[in-house]
Structure 1
Amino acid sequence: MKDTILELNNVRKSYGNFQALKGIDLTLNASEILGFIGPNGAGKTTTIKVILGMIKAQGTSRVFDLDSWKDAVEIHKYLSYVPGDVNLWPNLTGGEVIDFFLMLKKQKDTSYKHELIKRFDLDPTKKCKTYSKGNRQKVALIAALSSDVSLYIFDEPTSGLDPLMETLFQEEVRQLKDQGKSILLSSHILSEVEQLCDTINIIKEGKIIEKGNLQDMRHLSMSNIRVSTEKNISGLDQVDYIKDYRLIDGYHEFKIENHKIGEVIAQLSQYEIKSFESRLSTLEELFMGYYGEEH
């Protein structure tokens, strides 16, 4: 099997006059976790449906070096998929649904299923029509995580789960990576993406607007500065490279581009710095930098 597990080149999809995808390029390598983030309507789920062969699009989408549309049945033998809103057969129990999915994957060893049922605190004897959204999500996650496949695609997988279950999901994903599996993770929980992903792709209005690992993307963000001085400072809010200036309890708080840190320290030193804190922006702050005008 190639090192490249999944590759999209210039994928385009239109619905009438609306262009949902405008030339998506995406690559997922072996043993990699790829984070795919963007607001609702940006094109994340449409892209995933193209990968899964659920929608036909222009351009090329290949998984395991097979065509997503023409070879969808073969591809699905080697991947597991969890959507953000799981619909299950109402008259089957959760346990029956999990067993059915494992049977489709021809999974002979089902021992891990029992461990996951216990860890996710799911009652597998209840019928699916009685489950809450969170419990339906657990059924799909257990079925996916107990399948021994090469690729896992998660589209908002922890939607409806409480924080404890989210943490458990993150532990499972790390374990999959340790086993050499590849994961495509679309998530609105940005801290989840930040903690788990090797590579991040940001999609906006059907286009990938930035990609790379988090360290690569730091150049797009700013450092958050918190400083106090012996002498009074005035006019910081007038400095062109200082953004979002605030004075709170005697501390000057603002944002600057990372390469300006030395310059601002030199400027502030004349006021006798008492304390100086610098923190890189989180992925969430970076993300809001792109989409802040939309929220």
Structure 2
Amino acid sequence: MIEISNLNKKFGKLTVLDGLDLHIDKGGIFAVLGPNGSGKTTLIKSVLGMVIPDKGEIKIDDQSVLGGWKYRNDINYLPQIANFPSNLNVRELINMVKNLRPKEASDKDLIKRFGLEAFLDKKLGNLSGGTKQKVNILLTFMFESDLIILDEPTTGLDPISLIHLKEIIREEKSKGRTILITTHIMSFVEEIADEIVFLLDGEIYFKGSSSELKQKTNQKDLEHAIAKLISKDL
């Protein structure tokens, strides 16, 4: 599904990605983890075409995506911060996004699932952070795509909405979709992810299941296993 080879990126004198190689199979849930400054955001934005690497190759389904843009129509992306136009209401935003993407959208079930019926005619600038995140999730999942990238998807969600999010992610996996997730919530990772991709100093430091990571680091829980990876005390 995704093949990344010798990816390099510098911002000034700071090396963010340093010869990174990564293979992601089609189908499954992959948690992209790492401390602040590890390169995970730059990696994700490189796949999305939002950052242009200095060197290397990115292929999706054996097709190079560097310099292209049409492939983005087949990616669903949930940004970490939902920066919506505050003067639009929720219904107007949904319709605007539908008009922008050349795909059929299905939003009615998501509106009902996240209890957004009462907010459709409310201005986005007047919504709480949690409600904006529900709208963010709706905009992401109302289109069908084989690759889904979720940046901190749990932010601001109440327990019921979090349950619905997990259900949707598992439903997408059952359809053979590939889901990349960045998050700092290790309990969420342990519950939902098939594999962990851990970045440190711009390189892939570990790739495998949470149980394999705990065994490798000789830790009983994922938080301590990650902490041991960060300290490089292996």
TM-score by length of 2: 0.90
Shift of 1:176: 0.4
Determine if contact 1:66/1:75 at 8 Å carries over to the other structure. Answer: no
Cα deviation digits, residues 4-34 of structure 1 (max 9, x gap): x212111111011111111222222211211
Q: Distance in 1 between matches of 2:78 and 2:44?
A: 11
Q: Distance in 1 between matches of 2:90 and 2:82?
A: 12
Determine if contact 1:32/1:198 at 8 Å carries over to the other structure. Answer: yes
Determine if contact 2:104/2:143 at 8 Å carries over to the other structure. Answer: no
Q: Distance in 1 between matches of 2:108 and 2:104?
A: 14
> Quick check: 1:119 aligned with 2:116?
no
Describe the SS at the equivalent of 2:162.
helix
Residue aligning to 2:221: 282
Aligned counterparts, 1:67-146, within 5 A: 67-71=64-68, 73-110=69-106, 113-122=107-116, 123-146=119-142
Cα deviation digits, residues 125-163 of structure 1 (max 9, x gap): 212222222222211210111111111001111222223
Aligned counterparts, 1:1-295, within 5 A: 5-57=1-53, 58-71=55-68, 73-110=69-106, 113-122=107-116, 123-222=119-218, 281-291=220-230
Shift of 1:104: 3.0
The 1:28/1:100 distance shift into structure 2, 3 A limit, reads: farther
Shift of 1:109: 5.0
Shift of 1:292: 5.9
Q: Which runs of 5+ in 1 are unaligned?
A: 224-280
Look up the equivalent residue of 2:161 and give its one-letter code. M
RMSD across aligned positions (CA)? 1.8
Determine if contact 2:3/2:24 at 8 Å carries over to the other structure. Answer: yes
Where is the strand percentage greater, Structure 1 or Structure 2? Answer: 1
Determine if contact 2:105/2:142 at 8 Å carries over to the other structure. Answer: no
The 1:60/1:164 distance shift into structure 2, 3 A limit, reads: same
Describe the SS at the equivalent of 2:199.
strand
Q: Distance in 2 between matches of 1:158 and 1:166?
A: 7
Shift of 1:68: 2.9
Q: Which has the higher contact order (CA 8 A, sep 6+)?
A: 2
The 1:164/1:16 distance shift into structure 2, 3 A limit, reads: same
Determine if contact 1:28/1:184 at 8 Å carries over to the other structure. Answer: no
Cα deviation digits, residues 81-113 of structure 1 (max 9, x gap): 001112112222222222332333333352xx1
Rg bigger for which structure? 1
Determine if contact 1:84/1:158 at 8 Å carries over to the other structure. Answer: no
Q: Which runs of 5+ in 2 are unaligned?
A: none
Q: Distance in 2 between matches of 1:90 and 1:52?
A: 25
The percent of aligned pairs where both chains have the same amino acid is 32
Aligned residues: 229
More off after superposition, 21-30 vs 51-60: 21-30
Q: Distance in 2 between matches of 1:198 and 1:131?
A: 34
